Amino acid sequence: MKYVDEYRDADTARALSTAIAALCEPGRRYSFMEICGGHTHTIYKHGLEDHLPEAISLVHGPGCPVCVIPMGRVDDAIALAEHEDVILTSFGDMLRVPGGRGSFLDAKAAGADIRMVYSPLDSLKIARQNPDKRVVFFAIGFETTTPSTAMTILRAEAEGLGNFSVFCNHVRVCPAITAILESPDLNLDGFIGPGHVSTVIGCAPYEYVPRDYGKPLVTSGFEPLDILDSIHRLLRQFAEGRCEVENEYGRVVPWAGNPRALAVIDKVMEVRETFEWRGLGWIPESAMRLREEYAAFDAERIFAVPGVRVADPSACQCGEVLRGLIKPWECKVFGTACTPETPIGTCMVSSEGACAAYYNFGRFSRARVKEATLR
Amino acid sequence: MNDPAVSDPAVQDPAVKDRETRAGWAEEAVRSARPHGHGVTEEQVLERIARARARAPRIRDERITLAHGAGGKATHTLIEAVFLEAFRNPLLEPLDDGAALSTPAGRLAFTTDSFVVSPLFFPGGDIGDLAVNGTVNDLAMCGARPMHLSAGFILEEGFPVADLRRITASMSAAAEAAGVTIVTGDTKVVQRGKADGCYVTTAGVGLLERDVALSAANARPGDVVLVSGPVGDHGITVMLARGELDISADLVSDTAPLHGIAAALLDVAGDGVRLLRDATRGGVATICNEVATSSSVAVVLEERAIPVRPVVTGAAELLGIDPLYVACEGRFVAVVAPDRADAALAALRSHPLGEGAARIGTVGDDPPGLVLLRTGFGGTRIVDLLVGDPLPRIC
């Protein structure tokens, strides 16, 4: 397929792989975190680690929007959906995320009207078709999807749609990166930076990472060659004694981001003082809420949201996985109590979650497979 | 009681008479039955009634009503005018409670499948040919020659009779193409809102004339995995036909009867064939997992070797799904012994339904129970069973 196959070429990968190995200092180990769940998915789906020398290990970061939603927010949304006249709309990958008392799918089976949408605008369509119902869109995502939620609210306002609102769970990537950098047990050499988020916010917001924390960051595309190229660029920074923000995804990411998208977010939303993240706890200024002017579209103001707080299950080590302290398979319940069919932690739910990606794609002994296929 | 001459508004106001409409269905019914002329005797009228009752009933309703499922006259009319009309054959015609089948002594294969596809009509097919081909294919995958099918219909009150006719017509055509007859059936009607238009359940019997034992437990290390053509066409076609995604593509369902191509394969590869399985829900990936688990072997697939049309790859990419998991309704996976692999592939490719057949992988011994994919990128990953359903109601 044009514009895709070029970024999945095995010969180019092998050449990059050789160049990467040559840049590794003998005896040194490198630990890089890919922040985005989309990158994690790519890494496993294409078997990218087969192209990396043993000295490099990849740590899977918190950039999976459904993975970081705390259970309490799921319960709150279900409470909204249980209103007789409410239709809750959500992206498909959110449906299976477990809350304190089940997932959206469970609530749907019990009678709540919860519908999957592909775009927030689909929710507007549902609102128009059901004037006697109140449609609540469960908005999630990093800055990538925040503009489309904001645009949808502006559209609803322009149309005078009084039966549409948003339960806003939009999060911001930089505070999460900071939380990881502030973690006392930090063991990272650099970051493969967000791709789609950066199309909106640009590269400038990451400049504090090399400046204040001494870690290089390369914003990366989502094709496997993009990720290999980004790893190569990180290593080259070490080799050349540089430490900076680099843009590997220049074909899509402008350095200054997308000013129009940022303006739309700023018009409709403001930064929350603090927000709870699954596994990471409360992070200051890490999420968005609707501005007072758009209160009419804010489910948190329209409804009496219970504000449920659910502690992460004691066996769950999602937080350590999300901070890169342990590999998915090192979690106490990985693959036994916690599987994609019965996820305990959110990292196991979405295909972008580190645990699900490892379980679905990487759950085999590389040494054994190498031996088996050489035979 | 009012005097009719006075109460009739048309008499009071001639303009009303001009606005009057007529019940078209009633006029049509009278015309087609030809009214009795003047001077007929009661005897003659009774004779005409008897003749009318003996004629094949015609269904005048445009929509299915609960009466069509009530077991009375309307049900009878529906069966005769729609189902018998479309499926007519000597075994069905007596409309007895069951069909009496004569078969040579031997083994039979017996299978059943239900169809709830949405939308009912999609590019390249509809629920009708899907329901026939699905059961024909399940029999073919057992190595059987499909013989007879049953067809059960669950219809929603209000379902257009014209749509039902379209469905039965394509079932009839599919049955003829597959060389099977629909010999018994059933109809139920449920209230509006209790079903989605039309569901079809077919069951089928086929003759096991060959001495083959096909099973997912038969694969051995060294065996070769073949697929009969490009994968994923059906699932992506139906998904796009729903119109939820605002994507259009030049793509049609692959629904087709596979007994012919399966027989062609068995003719040349005979006892070297371990397993045939049509790649319906869950796609090629799910079949390979069944093989790996049941036979306690590793299945190693080559991503580059798996035939997928560019338009399917593109749509799957947009939807974030893997074509390996997308359903086909006219493709199958065959696991064959290594020494028969070339002949088997040649037999597939020389059949009109198998032009795109390919060798997509091999069976290994380690790690048992796993399906591994050598990615086009040069890496290796697992192909696991899917959790959840990315594309609901595609068959």
Q: Do residues B260 and B351 make contact, with C-beta atoms less than 8 angstroms apart?
A: yes
Distance from CA of A351 to the nearest CA of B (A): 10
* pLDDT category of residue B14 using cuts at 50, 70 and 90: low
Q: CB-based contacts of A217: which residues, under 8 Å, 6+ apart? A: A190, A191, A192, A193, A206, A209, A210, A245, A246
User: What pairing do the DSSP bridges indicate for beta strands A134-141 and A164-170?
Assistant: parallel
Nearest CB to A372; choose among B314, B317, B366: B366
pLDDT-above-90 percentage for chain B: 70
* pLDDT category of residue B106 using cuts at 50, 70 and 90: confident
CB A10 to CB B377 under 8 A?
yes
pLDDT-above-70 percentage for chain A: 98
In terms of phi and psi (left: phi > 0; alpha: psi -120 to 50; beta: otherwise), the region of B129 is alpha
CB A360 to CB B298 under 8 A?
no
Nearest CB to A47; choose among B366, B367, B381: B381
When mean pLDDT is compared across B145-154, B219-228, B246-255, B356-365, the lowest value belongs to B246-255
Nearest CB to A364; choose among B244, B372, B378: B372
Give B332-359 pLDDT, tens digit per residue: 999 999 999 999 999 999 999 999 999 9
DSSP B274-298: EEEEE--TTHHHHHHHHHHHHHT-E
The arithmetic mean of pLDDT across residues B236-244, rounded, is: 88
Residue among A231, A364, A368 with most chain B CBs within 10 A, to mutate: A364
How confident is the model at residue B135, as a pLDDT? 98
Give A73-85 pLDDT, tens digit per residue: 999 999 999 999 9
A-chain CB neighbours of B300 within 8 Å are 373
CB B379 to CB A369 under 8 A?
no
- Distance (Å, whole) CA B256 – CA B130: 8
When mean pLDDT is compared across A129-133, B12-16, B225-229, the lowest value belongs to B12-16
Three-class secondary structure of residue A71 per DSSP: helix
Q: Do residues B153 and B185 make contact, with C-beta atoms less than 8 angstroms apart?
A: yes
The arithmetic mean of pLDDT across residues B242-261, rounded, is: 89
User: What pairing do the DSSP bridges indicate for beta strands B380-382 and B371-374?
Assistant: antiparallel
User: Residue B371 is which amino acid?
Assistant: V
CB B387 to CB A50 under 8 A?
no
Distance from CA of A143 to the nearest CA of B (A): 20
Distance from CA of B294 to the nearest CA of A (A): 18
User: Residue A113 is which amino acid?
Assistant: D
A-chain CB neighbours of B388 within 8 Å are 96
How confident is the model at residue A366, as a pLDDT? 72
Three-state SS annotation for B112-166: EEEECCCCCEECCEEHHHHHHHHHHHHHHHCCCEEEEEEEEEEEECCCEHHHHHH
Nearest chain B alpha carbon to A7 = B377
Query: In B183-195, which positions are buried (b, 16+ CB within 10 angstroms) versus exposed (e)?
Result: bbbebebeeeeeb
CB A372 to CB B298 under 8 A?
yes
A125 touches chain B (CB under 8 A): no
* pLDDT category of residue B50 using cuts at 50, 70 and 90: confident
CB A373 to CB B364 under 8 A?
yes
Could you tell me the residue ranges of all domains in chain A? 71-171+287-302, 318-366
Nearest CB to A8; choose among B310, B366, B376: B376
The arithmetic mean of pLDDT across residues A5-21, rounded, is: 92
Two structure tokens written together for A280: 């990471």
Distance from CA of A24 to the nearest CA of B (A): 21
How confident is the model at residue B4, as a pLDDT? 46
* Mean pLDDT, all residues of chain B: 90
B-chain CB neighbours of A49 within 8 Å are 379
How confident is the model at residue B299, as a pLDDT? 96
B-chain CB neighbours of A51 within 8 Å are 377-379
User: Could you tell me which of B323, B333, B234, B231 has the C-alpha nearest to residue B277?
Assistant: B333
A-chain CB neighbours of B244 within 8 Å are 118, 122
Residue among B387, B389, B391, B393 with most chain A CBs within 10 A, to mutate: B387
User: Could you tell me which of B172, B327, B152, B151 has the C-alpha nearest to residue B237?
Assistant: B327
CB atoms within 10 A of CB B176: 12
Give me the residues paired with residue B111 across strands: B204
Domains and CATH numbers, chain B: 66-208 (3.30.1330.10), 224-382 (3.90.650.10)
Distance from CA of B269 to the nearest CA of A (A): 26
Two structure tokens written together for A147: 């503009």
Nearest CB to B310; choose among A1, A44, A49: A1
In terms of phi and psi (left: phi > 0; alpha: psi -120 to 50; beta: otherwise), the region of A282 is beta
**CATH of A71-171+287-302 given 3.30.450.190, 3.40.640.10, 3.40.50.300, 3.40.50.11740:** 3.40.50.11740
Residue among A45, A196, A355 with most chain B CBs within 10 A, to mutate: A45
Distance from CA of A159 to the nearest CA of B (A): 22
User: What pairing do the DSSP bridges indicate for beta strands A164-170 and A217-219?
Assistant: unpaired
- Distance (Å, whole) CA B277 – CA B214: 9
Nearest chain B alpha carbon to A17 = B378
More confident residue, A250 or B43: A250
Two structure tokens written together for B287: 């079949």
How confident is the model at residue B1, as a pLDDT? 44
How crowded is the C-beta side of A182, counted as CA atoms within 13 Å?
Answer: 10
Two structure tokens written together for A38: 């989309």
Q: Let me know if B1 is exposed, middle or buried by CB neighbors in 10 A (0-12, 13-18, 19+).
A: exposed
More confident residue, B244 or B205: B205
The arithmetic mean of pLDDT across residues B47-70, rounded, is: 83
More confident residue, B47 or A231: A231
Distance from CA of B314 to the nearest CA of A (A): 7
Q: In the A/B pair of chains, how many CB contacts fall below 8 A?
A: 83
Contacts 24+ apart (CB under 8 A), A282-289: A283/A175, A283/A176, A283/A178, A283/A179, A284/A175, A285/A172, A285/A175, A286/A171, A286/A172, A286/A175, A286/A176, A286/A179, A287/A168, A287/A169, A287/A170, A287/A171, A287/A172, A288/A146, A288/A168, A288/A170, A288/A171, A288/A172, A289/A168
B-chain CB neighbours of A8 within 8 Å are 376-377
Give A239-268 pLDDT, tens digit per residue: 999 999 999 999 999 999 999 999 999 999
Nearest chain A alpha carbon to B363 = A373
The pLDDT of residue A122 is above 50: yes
The arithmetic mean of pLDDT across residues A44-52, rounded, is: 92
A-chain CB neighbours of B375 within 8 Å are 45-47
How confident is the model at residue A320, as a pLDDT? 85
DSSP letter at B384 equals P
Which of A 41-80 lie inside 8 A of B, CB atoms? 44-51
Three-class secondary structure of residue B341 per DSSP: helix
Strand order through the sheet with B107-115: B107-115, B198-208, B145-156, B181-190
Q: Let me know if A28 is exposed, middle or buried by CB neighbors in 10 A (0-12, 13-18, 19+).
A: exposed
* pLDDT category of residue B41 using cuts at 50, 70 and 90: confident
B-chain CB neighbours of A359 within 8 Å are 384
CB B375 to CB A45 under 8 A?
yes
Residue among A50, A89, A116, A129 with most chain B CBs within 10 A, to mutate: A50
A13 touches chain B (CB under 8 A): yes
The pLDDT of residue B5 is above 50: no
CB atoms within 10 A of CB A29: 12
Residue among B240, B308, B365, B380 with most chain A CBs within 10 A, to mutate: B380
A-chain CB neighbours of B378 within 8 Å are 10, 13-14, 47, 50-51
- Distance (Å, whole) CA A144 – CA A352: 15
More confident residue, A167 or A63: A167
Which of A 81-110 lie inside 8 A of B, CB atoms? 96
Q: Do residues A227 and A48 make contact, with C-beta atoms less than 8 angstroms apart?
A: yes
DSSP B183-220: EEEEEEEE-TTSS-SEEEEEEEEEEE-S-----TT---
- Distance (Å, whole) CA A331 – CA A312: 14
C-alpha angle B167/B170/B172, rounded to 5°? 110
A-chain CB neighbours of B317 within 8 Å are 1, 4
Q: Is the ipTM of this complex over 0.90?
A: no
- Distance (Å, whole) CA A266 – CA A285: 14
How confident is the model at residue A96, as a pLDDT? 84
Nearest chain B alpha carbon to A13 = B377
Distance from CA of A343 to the nearest CA of B (A): 11
A224 touches chain B (CB under 8 A): yes
